[in-house]
């Protein structure tokens, strides 16, 4: 079987700097336009910029071993990497040759013309680019080596229904020790379980699974009665989230939910409840809040003003929630911020810190790349709890999707460790209008 030729789009390199090593013995063609676009991103201070700089170094390393125009062996058992230009006459007249995507497609068409006996495939994360390729008979595929799960329906939810004999539920409510056998159910540490009677489906009990050697624990009901900083859970998923947020043994919490599900409000309320205390027994010294500045697409250093002023537009939803929790008392909120009890931090600069004894909230974490998430989590010091919140169905970062973003990575990679916990919030609780709109619009 003849080796294939893969033409990788810019989006692939900016998603994974090692992407060109993922195609085995097949050859890789690098359009000159891709090199130019990578160069345009190298000064960014986010994950895209990191990948841009990394791929430039890798290509320079290849260049030192040969000639990219003639072709350089990528590695042992790997194919060759070529830098190639296009012939504009190979592109259909209806395609605008000044469009960067069309120049990459033209490069693939030129390679196909030169190598009629070999399959030429465009690898891209751009859906429209794949449609364009298909419309002119050019093979294309999505670059998916970074996908953590096959589809969003496979993402761990942190909750499971488990059928048991009715007397088991009675024993659980009576305070007896109930264990779940590994043969009966595959569960992850800190997963929440709804015990359902196999003879009466209306008879249930909510429990928290720790491990197979530890009895099931009742979900902490104090939060339903007293609330977190005045916020009371309104459904079982919010009760599960409150349990995770207030558990000192759990250092990494991830909350996924649609707009209005209460994930950010609960996280902030739990943070305030454990940071702002009238005595010296506060569990954490300060609350650090941040979110990606994805809509801008570049370092906040490009904007005028102080860091707080630069971050203000992106942290407006956080500020709204904080004001609500403070009873709209701006002076109290400002006092806590001036004292450093509540901090506003830019993700761009969090890589340079080691944050200890803090309650960290990263909102809109679905817009983080896997590399950015790793950079953040490796900054977590002793005595720190980090909470990741977001909606994986609303991603603004063009280089990731529902199954390849940092939040999904955290959910899937941490689910087997007792220091972490996750829950997916399914009900909207912001208002009747917001809930209805999320369903019908």
> Can you give the pLDDT at residue 334?
84
Alpha carbons 110 and 131: distance in angstroms, whole number: 19
pLDDT for residue 300 is more than 60: no
pLDDT for residue 287 is more than 80: yes
pLDDT tens for each residue of 330-358: 788 888 888 888 887 767 666 667 788 99
Pairwise pLDDT comparison (226 vs 162), residue with the higher score: 162
CA 384 to chain centroid, in Å, comes to: 20
Tell me if 181 is assigned to some domain.
no
Q: Does one domain contain both 257 and 386?
A: yes
pLDDT for residue 102 is more than 80: yes
pLDDT for residue 296 is more than 50: no
Domain boundary among 111, 141, 171: 141
Q: Which domain holds residue 383?
A: 225-440
Tell me if 346 is assigned to some domain.
yes
194 has which bridge partners?
161, 206
Q: Which one of 216-225, 256-265, 277-286, 327-336 scores highest in mean pLDDT?
A: 256-265
Domain boundary among 110, 141, 172: 141
Domain boundary among 87, 121, 141: 141
Tell me if 183 is assigned to some domain.
no
> Can you give the pLDDT at residue 391?
94
- CATH number for the domain spanning 124: value is 3.40.50.1010
pLDDT tens for each residue of 219-231: 986 666 677 888 8
pLDDT tens for each residue of 384-440: 999 999 999 888 877 777 888 889 999 999 999 999 999 999 987 666 776 666 666
Q: Does one domain contain both 136 and 232?
A: no
For the chain, the domain total comes to 2
- Cβ pair 22, 145 in contact under 8 A: yes
- Cβ pair 300, 309 in contact under 8 A: no
pLDDT tens for each residue of 191-202: 999 999 999 999
Alpha carbons 110 and 120: distance in angstroms, whole number: 10
Tell me if 342 is assigned to some domain.
yes
> Can you give the pLDDT at residue 351?
63
Give CA separation, 73 vs 20, 25, 56, 107, in Å: 11, 10, 16, 20
Q: Rounded mean pLDDT of 111-130?
A: 93
Tell me if 412 is assigned to some domain.
yes
Beta-carbon count within 10 A of 107 CB: 26
- CATH number for the domain spanning 380: value is 3.40.50.300
> Can you give the pLDDT at residue 221?
67
> Can you give the pLDDT at residue 309?
65
> Can you give the pLDDT at residue 304?
63
Percent of the chain residues topping a pLDDT of 70? 86
pLDDT tens for each residue of 21-49: 889 999 999 999 999 999 999 988 777 88
> Can you give the pLDDT at residue 427?
81
Tell me if 11 is assigned to some domain.
yes
Lowest mean pLDDT among 79-93, 210-224, 232-246: 210-224
> Can you give the pLDDT at residue 295?
44
Tell me if 182 is assigned to some domain.
no
Tokens linked to 79? 């194919």
Lowest mean pLDDT among 44-48, 74-78, 86-90, 275-279: 275-279
Q: Does one domain contain both 359 and 265?
A: yes
pLDDT for residue 278 is more than 60: no
Q: Does one domain contain both 261 and 132?
A: no
């Amino acid at each position: 079987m003849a080796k294939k030729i893969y033409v990788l789009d810019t989006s692939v390199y900016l998603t994974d700097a090692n992407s060109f090593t993922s195609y085995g013995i097949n050859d890789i063609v690098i359009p000159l336009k891709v090199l130019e676009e990578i160069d345009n991103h190298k000064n960014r201070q986010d994950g895209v910029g990191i990948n841009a700089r990394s791929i430039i170094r890798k290509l320079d390393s290849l260049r030192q071993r040969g000639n990219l125009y003639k072709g350089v062996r990528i590695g042992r058992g790997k194919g060759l990497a070529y830098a190639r230009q296009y012939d504009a006459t190979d592109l259909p007249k209806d395609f605008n040759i000044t469009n960067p995507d069309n120049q990459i497609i033209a490069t693939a068409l030129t390679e196909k013309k030169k190598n009629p006996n070999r399959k030429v495939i465009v690898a891209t994360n751009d859906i429209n680019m794949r449609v364009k390729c298909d419309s002119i008979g050019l093979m294309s595929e999505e670059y998916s080596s970074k996908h953590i799960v096959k589809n969003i329906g496979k993402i761990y939810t942190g909750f499971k229904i488990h059928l048991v004999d009715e007397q088991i539920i009675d024993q659980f409510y009576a305070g007896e020790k109930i264990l779940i056998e590994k043969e009966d159910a595959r569960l992850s540490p800190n997963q929440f379980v709804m015990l359902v009677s196999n003879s009466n489906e209306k008879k249930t009990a909510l429990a928290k699974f720790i491990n197979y050697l530890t009895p099931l624990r009742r979900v902490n009901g104090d939060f339903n009665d007293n609330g977190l900083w005045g916020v009371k859970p309104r459904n079982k998923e919010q009760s599960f989230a409150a349990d995770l947020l207030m558990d000192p043994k759990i250092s990494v919490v991830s909350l996924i939910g649609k707009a209005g599900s209460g994930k950010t409000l609960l996280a902030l309320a739990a943070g305030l409840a454990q940071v702002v205390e009238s005595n010296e027994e506060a569990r954490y010294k300060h609350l650090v809040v941040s979110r990606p500045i994805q809509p801008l697409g570049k370092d906040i250093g490009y904007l005028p003003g102080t860091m707080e002023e630069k971050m203000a537009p992106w942290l407006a939803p956080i500020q709204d929630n904080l004001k609500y929790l403070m009873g709209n008392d701006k002076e109290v909120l400002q006092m806590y911020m001036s004292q450093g009890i509540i901090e506003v931090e830019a993700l761009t600069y969090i890589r340079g810190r080691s944050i200890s004894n803090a309650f960290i909230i990263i909102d809109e974490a679905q817009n983080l790349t896997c590399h950015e998430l790793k950079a953040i989590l490796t900054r977590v010091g002793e005595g720190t709890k980090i909470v990741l919140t977001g909606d994986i169905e609303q991603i603004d970062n063009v280089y990731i999707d529902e199954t390849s973003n940092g939040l999904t990575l955290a959910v899937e990679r941490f689910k087997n460790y007792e220091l972490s916990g996750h829950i997916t919030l399914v009900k909207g609780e912001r208002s009747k209008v917001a809930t209805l709109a999320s369903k019908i619009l």
